[in-house]
Structure formats: structure tokens, C-alpha cells
Amino acid sequence: MNNRPLTGLLINLSQETGVPLSTLKLNARILRELNLISYGSVGERRHAEVEPVGALVLRLIEANERANIRLYD
């Protein structure tokens, strides 16, 4: 389980992957708007969490990878 705020996770991910922090923050905001993840704001510190719908999407992606099915060209 994650015990860190989103910014800390994104900073580490940026350092590990080389993806700009601004790109990761934008994508996190999009994922939150789609109710796939949740996290706090400046005034409301909360740990980042995958929402139930996000967990479903992750399971579908993992199943797709195991089955070697392509969903796009």
C-alpha cells in the first residue's frame, strides 16, 4: 500500500523514467478527472489511491498483456 502523497510519487517516477514532472502531473489530473485515481490537494493532504474503477482498468490491462491481445493497431 502507498503511504505517500502524489507529488512524492511523481517526483520519484520522474527521476526514474526521465518523464518531466509536469507531464506526470497533467496525466495524474486526467486520471483523477476520470475517477481512476484520487489524491489530495494543497489544502488537503491525502495519500494517492487507485479507485475501484482504476483497479478494474489495471486488471483489464494486465489480463490483456497476459493474453497477448492488442486493443489498437
Q: How confident is the model at residue 1 (pLDDT cuts 50, 70, 90)?
A: very low
Q: Total structural domains in the chain?
A: 1
On whether residue 41 sits in a domain, the answer given is yes
The closest of 38, 35, 57, 34 to 47, measured between CA atoms, is 38
Residue 61 belongs to some domain of the structure: yes
Residue 50 within a domain: yes
Q: How do residues 6-47 score in pLDDT, each as one tens digit? A: 888 999 999 999 999 999 999 999 999 999 999 877 677 778
pLDDT at 70 (0 to 100): 63
* Cα separation, 27 vs 22, whole angstroms: 9
Q: H or E element: which one contains 37?
A: strand 37-38
Expressed as residue numbers, the domain containing 16 is 6-67
Query: How far, in Å, CA of 37 to CA of 68, rounded?
Result: 26
Phi, psi of 50, rounded to the nearest 5 degrees: -85, 125
